[in-house]
Structure 1
Amino acid sequence: MATFVETLAAASQVLGVIKELRDIDKGLSQGELKARMADLYSSVADIRMALADANEELRAKDREIAELKARFEQTSQLVEFRGYQYKAGPDGKPRGKPMCPVCMGDGKHVPLSNILDVMHQCPKCQGNFGLLQEFPG
């Protein structure tokens, strides 16, 4: 992908070619004029490609920012109890089952399942945890 600096350099080059075309001496041959025009078209095409790449890069950054904001919003709705994260109720106290700490490291909020009232297990990563506190709600 083209960087912003490369895009500016290409644009500067095109402006230089345009300035040269304005200052052309009438004695310039048709072949030289065509060669300079070809250089100009090539430079403009390079700029268009660089701008398209920069636009795609900006869109990717916007998507990443939106994803991070959503992840932050989800995390801010959790509360810790005895080392595990739970959904927070309206009163700010833990509600429901604890979240899998392994999957939370990957940005996922997966509630643990209670297995025969003996232990908790993650349905996604299959991680086993001891019997943990569950809260109504």
Structure 2
Amino acid sequence: MVDIAATISALTGSLEVIKAIRDTNHAYDKNELKAQMADLYGNLADVKMALSDAHMELKERDQKIKELTEHAELQGSLITINGYKYDDKDGRPVGLPYCPQCEVAENKLYRLTLLSDTRSRCTNCKNGFPVAADGNVHPEKTNT
């Protein structure tokens, strides 16, 4: 996290050095002037780094907000049937459902891929599900 107070302090210090140099009547000797300029460069470098960090944090925050907004919009356009979430078109499921395990574990929606008429699999977690594009859960067949 960017330390805004430290950034303001470094900037204030830089401005004070500039003001001291400007207000002098050229009474500084070369060594004093070089020392003041070194302080100024150091303070300005600190400000630049802090602003760069702030810029990166803001970009990351904006990306997270975008992802959360898209996720919320997508959640609002889904229909749940038998515990599986599908895209909703006029109250009917469209396409294959999304993986319920990945939704819970990662809070992300991965569409299942069709393995057979009654089985689907998640490409992310590799789990199989007894569900297909028709919105019906197909019970597992047992050999008895």
Asked if Structure 1 and Structure 2 have the same fold, meaning a TM-score greater than 0.5 normalized by the shorter chain, the answer is yes
Question: Match for residue 92 of structure 1?
Answer: 91
Q: 1:108 to 1:23 in 2, by over 3 A?
A: same
Inter-partner Cα distance in structure 1 for 2:65 and 2:127:
30
SS in 2 for 1:32: helix
Question: Match for residue 140 of structure 2?
Answer: none
Inter-partner Cα distance in structure 2 for 1:79 and 1:129:
18
1:115-130 to 2 correspondence within 5 Å? 115=116, 117=118, 119-130=119-130
| 1:55 corresponds to 2:42 | no
Instruction: Say how many residue pairs are matched.
Output: 134
Q: 1:43 to 1:95 in 2, by over 3 A?
A: same
Q: Is the 8 A contact 2:110 2:124 kept in 1?
A: no
Q: Is the 8 A contact 2:114 2:121 kept in 1?
A: yes
| 1:10 corresponds to 2:19 | no
String of CA shifts for 1:76-131, please: whole Å, max 9, x gaps: 22111222211101x133233322101223212313535353x4433432213335
| 5+ long unaligned stretches in structure 2 | 136-144
SS in 1 for 2:110: coil
1:74-93 to 2 correspondence within 5 Å? 74-89=74-89, 91-93=90-92
| 5+ long unaligned stretches in structure 1 | none
Indicate the percent of aligned positions where both proteins have the same amino acid.
35
Give the structure-1-normalised TM-score: 0.77
String of CA shifts for 1:24-45, please: whole Å, max 9, x gaps: 3654322112211111122112
Structure 1 residue 11 displacement after superposition: 0.8
Question: Match for residue 141 of structure 2?
Answer: none
SS in 1 for 2:96: coil
- Name the aligned partner's letter for residue 44 of structure 1: L
Q: Is the 8 A contact 1:79 1:85 kept in 2?
A: yes
Structure 1 residue 15 displacement after superposition: 1.7
- Name the aligned partner's letter for residue 39 of structure 1: D
Q: 1:83 to 1:116 in 2, by over 3 A?
A: closer
Q: Is the 8 A contact 1:99 1:112 kept in 2?
A: no
Question: Match for residue 104 of structure 1?
Answer: 103
Q: Is the 8 A contact 2:78 2:86 kept in 1?
A: yes
String of CA shifts for 1:25-80, please: whole Å, max 9, x gaps: 65432211221111112211221222122112212222222222222222222111
Structure 1 residue 5 displacement after superposition: 2.5
Q: 1:126 to 1:45 in 2, by over 3 A?
A: closer
